[in-house]
């Protein structure tokens, strides 16, 4: 192990749950920790007709995972003083957990559940579909979102993974059901 508080050093390792890790030490006295999974699962990988699935899977991974349903995971995160979020890009998905530095090992365990064992409960899929439809409406109606979409379509040719924003359409999101959601998409 490197000097505990040398933020310029990075170490690689593997967690018991199977995640490969890159660790950067926090500054001395840091009260919080942030752990991020980055994987090849962005919306550039969405299949034709399944646009939006990467965003959906990333959101589902942070709402119920491993032994924790949606409410149980929220309570567990609250008890740990932590938050769990996801970000999606054309070529990658990120799942990040933040919380007290003293509990980093438990934070890593919760992150491993989200990455390796996300749940895809039908009621969660329906809720996330509604959220994604709201985001699609914003993309169509809000000037900043419309400008971004048009910029991407101007810069990138048809078929390029960066051309789309990854939100999909009401039709493509509506087609995603529990039996078709790939458990390894994140």
Q: Give the model confidence (pLDDT) of 113-141 as tens digits.
A: 999 999 999 999 999 999 999 988 888 88
- pTM, two decimal places: 0.80
Kindly state the tokens that stand for 73.
């995971």
Structure confidence at residue 49 (pLDDT): 87
Tell me what pLDDT residue 180 has: 52
> In CATH, what number is assigned to the domain containing residue 171?
3.30.830.10
Measured in degrees and rounded to the nearest 5, phi and psi for residue 42 equal -80, 175
- Counting residues of the chain whose pLDDT is more than 90, the rounded percentage is 49
Domain that holds residue 176: 31-180
- 173 part of a folded domain: yes
Question: What is the reported pLDDT for 178?
Answer: 63
Taking all residues of the chain, what is their mean pLDDT, rounded to a whole number?
86
- Report the run of H or E that residue 98 belongs to, with start and end: strand 93-100
Question: How many structural domains comprise the chain?
Answer: 1
Length of the chain, in residues: 186
Q: Does the pLDDT value for residue 27 go beyond 50?
A: yes
């Amino acid at each position: 192990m490197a000097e505990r508080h040398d933020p310029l050093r990075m170490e690689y390792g593997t967690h018991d749950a199977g995640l490969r890790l890159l660790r950067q030490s926090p500054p001395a006295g840091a009260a919080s920790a942030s752990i991020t999974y980055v994987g090849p699962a962005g919306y550039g990988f969405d299949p034709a007709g399944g646009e939006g699935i990467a965003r959906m899977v990333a959101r589902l991974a942070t709402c119920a995972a491993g032994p924790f349903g949606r409410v149980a995971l929220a309570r567990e995160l609250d008890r740990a003083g932590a938050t769990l979020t996801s970000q999606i890009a054309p070529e990658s998905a990120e799942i990040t957990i933040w919380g007290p530095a003293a509990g980093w090992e438990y934070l890593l365990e919760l992150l491993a559940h989200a990455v390796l064992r996300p749940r895809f409960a039908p009621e969660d899929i329906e809720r996330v579909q509604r959220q994604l439809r709201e985001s699609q409406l914003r993309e169509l109606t809000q000037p900043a979102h419309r400008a971004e979409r048009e910029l991407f379509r101007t810069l990138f040719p048809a078929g390029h993974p960066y051309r789309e924003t990854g939100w999909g359409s009401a039709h493509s999101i509506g087609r995603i059901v529990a039996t078709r959601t790939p458990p390894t998409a994140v």
